[in-house]
Amino acid sequence: MAARLIPPSLVASLSSLRIAPSSAIAARSFSTSSTLTSAEKRKAFNPYAAAISKKRKEANLHRQAELSVQRASTAVDPVVGRPTAFIESLETPLPPPPSLDAVLSSSTATPLTQLNHFITPTELPHFLSTSKHLTAPVRSSVDTYIDPELASAHSARHDRAVEAIKRILSLANGSSKDRTRSNTQLCIDTFGRHVTDGALPRDPGVPSAAETAKTPRAGPDTGSSEVQAAILTVKIRTLEQQLHRDDGHQSKDKHNKRNLRLMVHRRQKLLKYLKRKEKGGVRYRNVLDALGLDDAAVMNELFL
């Protein structure tokens, strides 16, 4: 039987191949470097160290959970903030102003509450006393005394008029617009530089208004950052109360929702500027404490 011939090209290709010995293959399989570090290798063979590491990890996770709960409990709402004395004064129904007799009979000067219809508390006693004097019964040329019945009737009518004026001027009977306007004036009287320059202590190294060469203020301060932030807080709380629903459903007033977001971010920009300008000084801390906000509501990104 004739032998099968192998082509010369196949013989040349087979001769060119070099097959590595089995010992080299075995050495190559064990020469790969491990990804574990020396400390991890020791831990893998040390059950005591592994238990300590597991216990330490559990303690860290437990502490992180406690801190997250603590931060959530102390977190301040960036929209309405936390309740403070100034915030409560904006929402508490104001009592009616005292009558003229109570004002005149008091030995000490008692500050009157805010009034409606652009009437200042210092003007009311003068107006009431003037009206009582103008409506008093007049003596005739013949009579030398006033009839006691006429005097008592005049006093009764004046008391009824005073009670009517008290109800008219009371903000509890006014509209939301009247209350917002009164709260705006309260913000100017509380945070204005014409008031806080003499009430708040100065930061170290900051000269007083008398020491600087600035032009003195010609009227009440209505344009400083703290006043504008307080006025925006009044508007934000008013709008948030309008959007809040007691039935748990969200309001569909998208236009006012957008206005609320714009006012919140505008207040944040004003407080950021105040912090940068005052270097986190007394004025900045005073505004944050009064408005019920914290530094996270000013510097962090807000998601409403």
Determine, yes or no, domain membership for 117.
yes
Q: Let me know: does 260 contact 239? Beta carbons within 8 Å.
A: yes
Give the pLDDT of residue 25: 46
Q: Is 197 found in the same domain as 87?
A: yes
Give the pLDDT of residue 66: 93
Among candidate residues 201, 193, 186, 260, the one with its CA nearest the CA of residue 225: 193
More confident of the two residues 55 and 44: 55
Q: Let me know: does 238 contact 182? Beta carbons within 8 Å.
A: no
Please state the domain count of the chain: 3
pLDDT above 60 for 21: no
Condensed to tens digits (0 to 9), the pLDDT of residues 226-255 reads 999 999 999 999 999 888 866 667 788 899
Give the pLDDT of residue 255: 93
Determine, yes or no, domain membership for 256.
yes
Q: Let me know: does 133 contact 170? Beta carbons within 8 Å.
A: no
More confident of the two residues 276 and 167: 276
Condensed to tens digits (0 to 9), the pLDDT of residues 85-133 reads 999 888 775 555 555 455 444 433 344 467 888 887 788 888 888 888 8
pLDDT above 70 for 223: yes
Q: Is 165 found in the same domain as 187?
A: no
Among candidate residues 13, 156, 186, 11, the one with its CA nearest the CA of residue 92: 186
Condensed to tens digits (0 to 9), the pLDDT of residues 248-296 reads 677 888 999 999 999 999 999 999 999 999 988 999 999 999 999 999 8
Give the pLDDT of residue 12: 61
Q: Let me know: does 232 contact 267? Beta carbons within 8 Å.
A: yes
Average pLDDT over residues 197-218: 76
DSSP state of 173: G
More confident of the two residues 12 and 57: 57
Burial grade of 62 (CB within 10 A; 0-12, 13-18, 19 or more): exposed
Q: Is 105 found in the same domain as 92?
A: no
Average pLDDT over residues 129-155: 78
Rounded CA separation 249/298 (Å): 28
Give the pLDDT of residue 110: 40
pLDDT above 60 for 70: yes
Average pLDDT over residues 157-174: 85
Give the pLDDT of residue 235: 94
Condensed to tens digits (0 to 9), the pLDDT of residues 179-190 reads 889 899 999 999
Q: Is 274 found in the same domain as 151?
A: no
Q: Is 181 found in the same domain as 259?
A: yes
Q: Is 87 found in the same domain as 62?
A: no
More confident of the two residues 205 and 76: 76
Give the pLDDT of residue 9: 66
| pLDDT mean across residues, the chain | 79
Q: Is 87 found in the same domain as 230?
A: yes
Q: Is 163 found in the same domain as 265?
A: no
Among candidate residues 180, 163, 161, the one with its CA nearest the CA of residue 114: 180
- Give the range of the structural domain holding residue 194, as residue numbers without chain letter: 82-96+174-201+220-304
Give the pLDDT of residue 107: 39
Under the banding of pLDDT at 50, 70 and 90, the label for residue 50 is confident
Q: Is 105 found in the same domain as 88?
A: no
pLDDT above 60 for 31: no
**pTM tops 0.75, yes or no:** no
Determine, yes or no, domain membership for 16.
no
Determine, yes or no, domain membership for 23.
no
Rounded CA separation 40/37 (Å): 5
Give the pLDDT of residue 237: 92
